[in-house]
């Protein structure tokens, strides 16, 4: 297991340092939310209930029935959340953990459950110490809608813990047999998500893992690609078409309109639904003075695997049905992987700069109308740091430097330090420029 050490320690702190608390743990399923819960509950006294999408009446019945099985036989309790919670706490131990997983399914239809938890936490006659751990895989709902629903009750939540993506260093440690290139491509396809990594075999090559877990019918990622959308969404063909348009990289609404032929108003509605599902996000360009030259309203697919699926598999799906996975890989996937993984390489370069300079006060990507600045950031010393990244071309050239400088002018940004990343090499003219200009730093090869 790749443990989320920082988040795990936060959970342990709240378990140990207060008699009664309500904590929320949330994160995308790919962040291995279930693995973190399991690790935390080890050697603890707990009750666990996983909510599902159903009516509030049926939810209460499920909660009652499942918890009832864990209680001593003969214990009489009424069909009310207050009674069920009291029954769980009537079995004494040093400290109890009560986990309500995917709790949004309850709170959305029956927010009164929070009232019961708050009353229990503040009940001075309650002799049983308890940590209520509410978990959710709906990141957008927790961060955007939950507080509006709970209103003042949100102040009663003692901890809000988000499972973060793992680092490139974590990925390299897990896939210790992979070289730098394969590690970057793995990041580009499966993301910095331990839940995805667990589905792969670190002892197999990247090609074998892709063929075995993505391009084989019935495999985990094959089924994920096929069943990307919840069943309740109507017109899946529209969603698939929009995702296909986004698979080649971030797009403006008008770009999607041109690629799909759908009306802009219709696209906006479907994009909102995809954003609510955390499948797509609307990303903002780094805030720079050159506002007239920036692209606004950029949409992108958030999950690297789904972008991979719609980039490589979805357009050739009928071929996959008739071809062996390794032949499909060689014909439709292999040659495009380096280009596809360019954004992942930029992510690796950003991590390199973070390790070098420490946390940034601000950072992002600048999406210009005529070009992009891959990395732009301001550190704590108020220095502006920029990064330009090349993963695909054999050499980064002096012309690439000139283009980056032009983009900086368009953004209205002065740069204190410009990092040029090239996995292969740099041309001689660029090397000479770096010698004469101390603000330019060349980073070459593996790091």
Please name the residues in contact with 392: beta carbons below 8 A apart, sequence gap of 6 or more. Answer: 338, 339, 342
Mean pLDDT of 399-411: 96
The pLDDT value given to residue 236: 93
pLDDT over threshold 80, residue 143: yes
The pLDDT value given to residue 111: 83
Question: Can you tell me which residue has the tokens 């279930």?
Answer: 34
Q: Which of 238-242's residues contact partners 24+ apart within 8 Å by CB, and which partners?
A: 238/262, 238/266, 238/270, 239/270, 239/273, 239/274, 240/310, 240/314, 242/267, 242/270, 242/271, 242/274
For the chain, the first-to-last Cα distance in angstroms comes to 25
H or E segment at 98? strand 96-101
Report phi then psi at 63, rounded to 5.
-60, -45
Please name the residues in contact with 127: beta carbons below 8 A apart, sequence gap of 6 or more. Answer: 92
Mean pLDDT of 74-82: 92
pLDDT over threshold 70, residue 401: yes
The pLDDT value given to residue 165: 87
Please name the residues in contact with 306: beta carbons below 8 A apart, sequence gap of 6 or more. Answer: 225, 228, 243, 279
The CA dihedral of 136, 138, 141, 143, to the nearest 10 degrees, is: 70
In tens, the pLDDT along 55-69 reads 999 999 999 999 999
The pLDDT value given to residue 3: 58
- How high is the mean pLDDT of the chain? 94
Q: Which two tokens stand for residue 59?
A: 């939810």
Give me the residues paired with residue 132 across strands. Answer: 22, 98
Report phi then psi at 367, rounded to 5.
-95, 100
In tens, the pLDDT along 151-183 reads 999 999 999 999 988 999 999 999 999 999 999
Q: Which two tokens stand for residue 186?
A: 């793995």
Q: Which of 259-268's residues contact partners 24+ apart within 8 Å by CB, and which partners?
A: 262/238, 266/238, 267/242
For residue 232, what pLDDT band results from cuts at 50, 70 and 90?
confident
pLDDT over threshold 60, residue 146: yes
**CA–CA separation, 107 and 120 (whole Å):** 17
pLDDT over threshold 60, residue 1: no
**CA–CA separation, 328 and 59 (whole Å):** 45
Please name the residues in contact with 374: beta carbons below 8 A apart, sequence gap of 6 or more. Answer: 346, 349, 365, 387, 388, 389
The three-class DSSP label of residue 55 is coil
> Roughly what angle, to the nearest 10 degrees, separates helices 264-276 and 253-260?
110
In the chain the domains, ranked by start, together with CATH numbers, are 5-162 (3.40.50.300), 168-340 (1.10.10.10), 344-444 (3.40.1350.10)
pLDDT over threshold 90, residue 4: no
Closest CA to 316 of 304, 335, 303, 333: 333
pLDDT over threshold 70, residue 74: yes
Mean pLDDT of 36-60: 95
The pLDDT value given to residue 2: 55
pTM for the predicted model, two decimal places: 0.87
CB contact at 8 A, 306 and 281: no
CB contact at 8 A, 74 and 92: no
pLDDT over threshold 80, residue 398: yes
Count CB atoms within 10 A of the CB of residue 46. 19
Helix/strand/coil (H, E, C) string of 7-52? HHHHHHHHHHCCCEEEEEEECCHHHCHHHHHHHHHCCCEEEEEECC
**CA–CA separation, 377 and 249 (whole Å):** 22
For residue 124, what pLDDT band results from cuts at 50, 70 and 90?
confident
Q: Which residue has the higher pLDDT, 112 or 254?
A: 254
Task: Compute the residue count for the chain.
Answer: 447
pLDDT over threshold 80, residue 335: yes
The pLDDT value given to residue 278: 83
The pLDDT value given to residue 258: 96
Per cent of the chain over pLDDT 90 is 85
The three-class DSSP label of residue 235 is coil
The pLDDT value given to residue 276: 84
CB contact at 8 A, 229 and 239: yes
Q: Are strands 372-378 and 395-396 parallel, antiparallel or unpaired?
A: unpaired
Question: Can you tell me which residue has the tokens 């459950």?
Answer: 113
């Amino acid at each position: 297991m790749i443990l989320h050490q920082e988040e795990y320690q936060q959970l342990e702190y709240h378990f140990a340092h207060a008699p009664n608390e309500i904590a929320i743990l949330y994160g995308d399923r790919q962040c291995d939310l279930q693995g973190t819960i399991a690790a935390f509950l080890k050697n603890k006294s707990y009750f666990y209930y996983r909510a599902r999408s159903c009516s509030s009446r049926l939810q209460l019945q499920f909660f009652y029935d499942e918890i009832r099985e864990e209680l001593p036989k003969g214990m009489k309790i009424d069909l009310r959340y207050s009674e069920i919670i009291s029954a769980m706490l009537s079995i004494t131990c040093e400290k109890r953990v009560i986990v309500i997983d995917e709790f949004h399914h309850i709170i959305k239809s029956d927010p009164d459950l929070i009232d019961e938890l708050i009353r229990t936490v503040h009940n001075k006659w309650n002799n049983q110490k308890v940590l209520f751990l509410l978990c959710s895989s709906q990141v957008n709902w927790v961060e955007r809608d939950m507080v509006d629903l709970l209103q003042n009750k949100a102040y009663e939540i003692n901890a809000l813990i988000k499972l973060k993506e793992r680092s490139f260093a974590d990925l390299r440690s897990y896939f210790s047999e992979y070289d730098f290139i394969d590690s970057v491509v793995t990041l580009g396809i499966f993301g910095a998500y331990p839940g995805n990594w667990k589905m792969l075999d670190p002892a197999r090559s990247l090609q074998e893992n892709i063929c075995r877990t993505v391009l084989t019918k019935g495999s985990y990622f094959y089924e994920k690609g096929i069943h990307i959308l919840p069943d309740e969404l109507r017109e899946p063909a529209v969603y698939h078409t929009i995702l296909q348009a986004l698979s080649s990289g971030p797009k403006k609404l008008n770009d999607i309109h041109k690629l799909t032929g759908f009306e802009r108003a219709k696209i906006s509605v479907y994009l909102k639904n995809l954003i609510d599902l955390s499948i797509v996000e609307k990303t903002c360009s780094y805030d720079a003075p050159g506002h007239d030259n920036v692209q606004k309203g950029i949409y992108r697919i958030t999950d690297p695997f789904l972008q991979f699926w719609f980039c490589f598999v979805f357009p050739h799906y009928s071929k996959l049905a008739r071809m062996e996975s390794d032949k499909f890989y060689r014909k439709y996937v292999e040659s495009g992987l380096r280009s596809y993984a360019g954004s992942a390489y930029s992510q690796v370069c950003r991590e390199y700069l973070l390790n070098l300079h420490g946390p940034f006060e601000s950072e992002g990507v600048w999406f210009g109308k005529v070009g992009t600045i891959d990395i732009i950031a301001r550190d704590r010393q108020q220095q502006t740091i920029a990064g330009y990244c090349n993963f695909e071309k054999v050499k980064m050239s002096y012309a690439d430097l000139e283009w980056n400088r032009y983009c900086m002018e368009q953004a209205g940004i002065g740069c204190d330090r410009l990092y040029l990343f090239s996995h292969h090499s740099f041309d001689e003219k660029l090397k000479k420029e770096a010698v004469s200009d101390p603000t330019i730093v060349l980073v070459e090869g593996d790091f």
